[in-house]
Structure 1
Amino acid sequence: MDVHVSLHGRGDLAAQVYRQLLDAILDGRLRSGERLPPTRELARRLEISRNTVAVAYDRLVADGFLVGRAGAGTFVSAERVRATRSAPQGVVRPRAIWRSVAAEAPASTHEYDFRVGVPDPRLFPMETWRRLVARELRTSLAGYADPSGHEALRDAIARHIGISRSVRAGADDVLITNGAQQALDLIGRVLIDPGACVAVEEPGYPPARRLFRSLGARVAGVPVDGEGIDVTAIPNAARLVYVTPSHQFPLGTPMSLARRAALLAWAERRRGVIVEDDYDSEFRFGDRPLEPLQSLDRSGRVIYVGSFSKTLLPMLRLGFLVAPASLMPALRAARQLSDSHGELSTQAALARFIDEGLLARHIRKATREYAARHALVVDSLADDDRLRLVPSVAGLHLCARFSPGVSVRPAPRLALERLDAYCGESPAQQGLVLGYGAIQQAEIPEGLNVLKEALV
């Protein structure tokens, strides 16, 4: 273990070594059982006599913090370690907005997990993925790269979304990100001035709302009905609107073609920008998907955002955006300032995963499984008049509104998400958002029975 010790002056050097090693043991930097450097080596590094270091070691041994083992060296004693390391409390405070924004713990220990936006990791072809990543780790070159991301992946994504979603893009129009959230962050950095008005769906995606607020925007919730966002209700001051038209989050309804046309006309009239998050659209169980806003756009006012977090695994942190050419230089610069270019071997592995047809095969397999879970949830709740399911034919969740007078009491066995958590305006809408990606099909009936018992 390379221990950092700094000496000041020529005073009691043995006491200084003793105190700094003791502090390292007490705050957990030196852990139980770790071997300290030999006295000769530490003395040489500190440019002091070996005897000075030996005195400090002997004192720590006498106090019970170190133990010497003949022929092996000097080690931290297991009996005396009490890890209490922490940074100073400090007096510096963040900007006011961060007092109301907190990181969330994503893990769940509930018996029946109906969390939203969590795919089933057991469906992911992990062995195939390990093989692809291992291959890239053997061949990938070190060094910095294009902030747009791996060229082969940008090309693969452009072809994939061109075939599957009719998105009009080439490799140069694609920028790889660490998930959709980083894509939104880059867009906000490039387009949002402090105090600017940003319109979002109500109810809508809370992380997007919080992100735009953290960048200094005034976020306005715009009502969503059965056809999508109410374009007539977008504030006059807004110049950027964030929508999830393919599978509205969290209600699950698609935006109608008429409403898409109205939104594009708004952007043209107001010289605005539309951020189209193609959330959760890969898994479709019925109905043909409507044209994305991006493919209908003729004036370059739509930024298309996608992610592989739900399609594959959230831990991969892979997403992308497709932007008009006029914005790409600024977005590339923002990405470079943020984290340069992301993890290239993973990006290269995903490019092969797409090019070899493995992504399409995985989506087909996962869609069959999620369709069965979707149908099971619909069938189980269809005859319960306390809940009114919102029609949806895609994604990893369903939304159910409470009938008048109905609520749900806490159920320790259930991981549930309430509809009002997705609302930023008052009065909040009441209901549940039920994910079926994290729960196995066999567990759904009993989990829904527990839910029904919790409805009051």
Structure 2
Amino acid sequence: MHLNISRNHPSSIPTQIAAEIRAAVANGTLAPGDAVPSTRALAQQLDISRGSVITAYDQLEGEGYLLTRQGAPTRIHPELTVTERPKTAVQSGLSRKVARPRISLKPSPGNAGAIRPATWRKAWREAAKHPGTDVDNAGEPELRSAIADHLRLARSMALTPDQIVITGGSREGLMCILHSLGTGLRVGVEDPGHPGLRRVIPLLGHEVVDCVTDGDGVVVHALPDDLDALLVTPSHLYPFGAAMPVPRRAELLEWAANTRTTIIEDDFNTELRYRISPQPTLSSLATNADVLTLGTFSTLLSRELAAGYVVASAATAASLREIRSILGVPVSTVTQRAIAHLLDDGVARRTSRAVHRDLARRRDILREHIVPLLNDAGVRAELVPGDGSDLTLRFRQPSERDQFEARLLAAGLECGHESALWTNAGDALVLSFAHLRGADFEQSISFIAREVSMLVRAQNATGGDSNG
């Protein structure tokens, strides 16, 4: 078994070993049931400590890649979930198999900060102690009170629980808002901007209107004055990486009040993107403008948690509650109480601080190791400005981009495309790392570093100009 391990790599030796074995399974070099070298033999082969190999094997066993039994060779797990791999010209009639899971590097509103399973279990145990009651479609009073307190402490928002409506996530929250506004709406969206929620709008029969955006957010003087609503992400301007400054926010709110346009503020990821206090929400600054704020728990607590909320005026919240009683599927009472426990216990705020540290570490690894490596290979790699960990990769030729993407896909990594994020976009690849779990981040970095190193060696062997 050949593994490409380097002491100069940004990832640790055990992480590289695990990534190489995953890659061998993904490309068919190793199949379920195949034996792998013993920890002692592989350590001697790679000239590294046996402890590093043991650490890597333990990780892979925990992930279900390896099966170890007393007195028997360690093997790729025979019951590893696999899918058939397309046959190639060099394959025999027996089809190889590859692991089903892939790592998506497409931009995502998620983050790497899911709370620990033990913390979740404790919250659920506390929530399950209470007897069941009739489900409130607007949300359990306990959770709405916890959200109000959390937003007061984390965002300096003075709210009452009656201004909060619990939803099944941001998409359902947006659907309820649009239903409350009427039919045949003209809804403005940021361009460029994150695709996220904009896809919901045409599904409900409304018109999407692209609105020009610069590094400070939507350009207010360029906004059409016949919009019914405007969906904005003032605290996460994509792909610029900044937040809308207060003067632009004030200008936008004045425009909204004058044109009687409802502002829908998507507040995702806000608390996780700033090492200092985040910007105030538009709703906390609004005077005469009608502003509704969409919040979600998926970025702060867990990506698997389909729960969110809408912050609105008391009158608008009453309308949303009525709509949700007809359209919305109630979020589980136990889930709501578990979230309330996590908010009241300070878990959410501690999680955000831990995520800040991890995102800073990831950004440092990308800036110090991956970006220079890509640039040496003739790829113009740039970190998206701000606190995030997204990379844009621009290639000299479309064929080079396609070949690079194909190599990553073969290794189990799925790239994002700049052209899919907004209209009139470029042709760069976009790689997002903030939403990955720790092991997936390390694996992705190892794959990318390996593929780029191979590309540079190939260019050097052929006498190519790697600086393009």
TM-score (norm 1): 0.69
- Equivalences for residues 15-414 of structure 1 within 5 A: 109-110=101-102, 113=105, 116-120=108-112, 123-143=114-134, 145-194=135-184, 196-286=185-275, 288-339=277-328, 341-383=330-372, 384=375, 386-394=380-388, 397-400=389-392, 402=394, 408-409=401-402, 410-411=405-406, 412=409, 413=411, 414=413
SS class of match (1:131) = helix
Aligned to 1:446: 446
Contact 2:173 2:294 in 1 (8 A): yes
Hey, what's the Cα distance between the residues in 1 that align with 2:306 and 2:247? 34
Percentage of matched positions with identical amino acids? 29
Contact 1:114 1:439 in 2 (8 A): no
Assess, with a 3 A threshold, how the Cα gap between structure 1 residues 235 and 404 changes in structure 2: closer, same or farther: farther
Larger radius of gyration: 1
Q: Which amino acid aligns with 2:163?
A: D
Contact 2:256 2:289 in 1 (8 A): no
Assess, with a 3 A threshold, how the Cα gap between structure 1 residues 294 and 405 changes in structure 2: closer, same or farther: farther
Deviation at 1:405, TM superposition (A): 5.7
Hey, what's the Cα distance between the residues in 1 that align with 2:100 and 2:259? 44
Assess, with a 3 A threshold, how the Cα gap between structure 1 residues 124 and 151 changes in structure 2: closer, same or farther: same
Assess, with a 3 A threshold, how the Cα gap between structure 1 residues 386 and 210 changes in structure 2: closer, same or farther: same
Hey, what's the Cα distance between the residues in 2 that align with 1:225 and 1:404? 26
State the Cα deviation string for residues 295-334 of structure 1 (Å, max 9, x = none): 1111251111111111111222111110012311210011
5+ residue gaps, structure 2, are: 1-98, 457-465
Aligned to 2:61: none
Assess, with a 3 A threshold, how the Cα gap between structure 1 residues 405 and 265 changes in structure 2: closer, same or farther: farther
Q: Which amino acid aligns with 2:102?
A: H
Deviation at 1:371, TM superposition (A): 2.0
Work out whether 1:431 is the aligned partner of 2:428: yes
Hey, what's the Cα distance between the residues in 2 that align with 1:189 and 1:228? 26
Deviation at 1:244, TM superposition (A): 0.6
Contact 2:105 2:431 in 1 (8 A): no
Assess, with a 3 A threshold, how the Cα gap between structure 1 residues 260 and 359 changes in structure 2: closer, same or farther: same
Hey, what's the Cα distance between the residues in 2 that align with 1:273 and 1:112? 34
Deviation at 1:165, TM superposition (A): 1.4
State the Cα deviation string for residues 320-361 of structure 1 (Å, max 9, x = none): 110012311210011111235321111011111111112222
Contact 1:390 1:400 in 2 (8 A): yes
Hey, what's the Cα distance between the residues in 2 that align with 1:388 and 1:230? 25
Contact 1:117 1:435 in 2 (8 A): no
Hey, what's the Cα distance between the residues in 1 that align with 2:442 and 2:317? 47
Aligned-residue Cα RMSD (Å) equals 2.7
Assess, with a 3 A threshold, how the Cα gap between structure 1 residues 174 and 218 changes in structure 2: closer, same or farther: same
Contact 1:202 1:223 in 2 (8 A): yes
Hey, what's the Cα distance between the residues in 2 that align with 1:287 and 1:350? 24
Hey, what's the Cα distance between the residues in 1 that align with 2:273 and 2:200? 28
State the Cα deviation string for residues 392-411 of structure 1 (Å, max 9, x = none): 125xx425263776772233
5+ residue gaps, structure 1, are: 1-106
SS class of match (2:228) = strand
Deviation at 1:240, TM superposition (A): 0.6
Contact 2:395 2:401 in 1 (8 A): no
TM-score (norm 2): 0.67
Hey, what's the Cα distance between the residues in 2 that align with 1:433 and 1:308? 25
Hey, what's the Cα distance between the residues in 2 that align with 1:160 and 1:431? 39
Hey, what's the Cα distance between the residues in 1 that align with 2:305 and 2:331? 11
State the Cα deviation string for residues 143-176 of structure 1 (Å, max 9, x = none): 3x32220111111111111221122321111111
Aligned to 2:6: none
Contact 2:271 2:278 in 1 (8 A): no
Contact 1:228 1:255 in 2 (8 A): yes
Hey, what's the Cα distance between the residues in 2 that align with 1:135 and 1:404? 57
State the Cα deviation string for residues 166-196 of structure 1 (Å, max 9, x = none): 22321111111111111111111111422x2
Hey, what's the Cα distance between the residues in 2 that align with 1:451 and 1:222? 38
Assess, with a 3 A threshold, how the Cα gap between structure 1 residues 405 and 322 changes in structure 2: closer, same or farther: same
Contact 1:198 1:219 in 2 (8 A): yes
State the Cα deviation string for residues 176-223 of structure 1 (Å, max 9, x = none): 1111111111111111422x2110011223342221111111101112
SS class of match (1:317) = coil
Deviation at 1:284, TM superposition (A): 2.9
Hey, what's the Cα distance between the residues in 2 that align with 1:316 and 1:140? 22
Assess, with a 3 A threshold, how the Cα gap between structure 1 residues 371 and 446 changes in structure 2: closer, same or farther: same
Hey, what's the Cα distance between the residues in 1 that align with 2:206 and 2:222? 18
Hey, what's the Cα distance between the residues in 1 that align with 2:100 and 2:240? 23
Q: Which amino acid aligns with 1:417?
A: G
Deviation at 1:415, TM superposition (A): 1.7
Contact 1:185 1:211 in 2 (8 A): yes
Hey, what's the Cα distance between the residues in 1 that align with 2:344 and 2:100? 35
Contact 1:250 1:422 in 2 (8 A): no
SS class of match (1:316) = coil
